[in-house]
Amino acid sequence: MANTFALILVILTFVTGIVWVIDKFKWGPARNAARQAAQDKAEIGLDEDTLAKIHPENVVIENARSLFPVIAVVFILRSFLYEPFQIPSGSMMPTLLIGDFILVEKFSYGVKEPIWQNTLIPVSLPKRGDVAVFKYPEDQRVDFIKRVIGLPGDRVVYKDKQLYLIPACEKAECGTYKALDMQSLGEQDFKDEAATMQVYSEVLGDVAHKIIVNPNRRDHTAYYYQQDDVKTYAYEWVVPKGNYFVMGDNRDNSKDSRYWGFVPEQNLVGKAVATWISFEFYRDVDGLLPTWVPSSVRFDRIGSIK
């Protein structure tokens, strides 16, 4: 399904670009010629206001011509370089919080055309530990953000709040599950979580990042996604070719690959690289103030994303 906003942006860029080109090489010279001819016939010099009334410029053409450079810059930046996103949920806590505004590097996983996300120029593939934005496979109008856990060919197990991996490998000695290194960082209360959470430092590939788990919440294995073509346990998955297994850092409050399956490579939007601003929002229990009004800026959260 096409990205509606991207489609609108492409159409606007195309239409205003055509108007700009035609005006530059046809309509503009015609206006200037008509005004110059009027100036040559006049016995006195004509001021700018008078000249502007001769062969006047259509207001639609004028606006389209003026907007084209701005729209073109936005189109290039948003489609091929960087796109801003707002974090709407706590599924990536503590790495990302509600109110964080992030930049996503669009070319990290290849230069793609903006509407259907087909790769035009391959650049690189996701690595374990990347924080990636992608089109939700069950509704591609929605953008999701999760951490890349499993690459194509990997076997992934999530059991008793512990993550295990068998990286894709053709050697016989690679067939043993290895638990990811986890170091307890104690407990912490998060405003968006009802319970006190346990915080861990987890090492995934070359990336060390924080995760949180709720010790009082059981794993919902009955709702886990089950592969039809691979015989596995309920808590085990084999990542198909051209797909990725993703999870939220808030392990007990994240709708991720455990529940709906894998992310096709074509769905990848880009890699989250930085938080450029972060707002704290009002939590007005009386309903007197809108919840979207920022109450403060969290300057300490501005910076790169790990």
Q: Is the pLDDT of residue 53 over 80?
A: no
Check residue 291 and give its pLDDT. Answer: 65
Question: Which token pair is 243?
Answer: 């797909």
Residues 73-100 have a mean pLDDT of 94
Mean pLDDT value across residues 46-50:
72
Answer with the residue of higher pLDDT: 77 or 194.
77
129 confidence band (pLDDT: 50, 70, 90): very high
* CATH class of domain segment(s) 87-304: mainly beta
**Cβ atoms of 125 and 148 closer than 8 Å:** no
Considering the candidates 146, 254, 271, 278, report the single residue annotated as catalytic: 146
Annotated active-site residue in 79, 91, 108, 257: 91
Residue 16 CB-density burial (10 A; 0-12 exposed, 13-18 middle, 19+ buried): buried
| Average pLDDT of the residues in 20-39 | 87
Residue 77: count of CB within 10 angstroms of its CB: 13
Q: pLDDT band at 37, cuts 50/70/90? A: confident
- Based on its alpha-carbon atoms, the radius of gyration of the chain, rounded to whole angstroms, reads 27
Active site residue 146: yes
**What are the residues whose beta carbons fall under 8 Å from the beta carbon of 8, sequence distance 6 or more?**
none
Answer whether residue 254 shows pLDDT above 60: yes
Would you say 213 and 235 are in contact if contact means Cβ atoms under 8 Å apart?
no
290 has a pLDDT exceeding 60: no
- The pLDDT of residue 1 is 42
Of all residues in the chain, what percent carry a pLDDT higher than 70? 92
Q: Which two tokens stand for residue 224?
A: 């886990």
Average pLDDT over the chain, rounded to whole? 89
Whole-prediction pTM: 0.88
* Cβ partners under 8 Å of residue 282, min gap 6: 289, 290, 291, 293, 294, 295
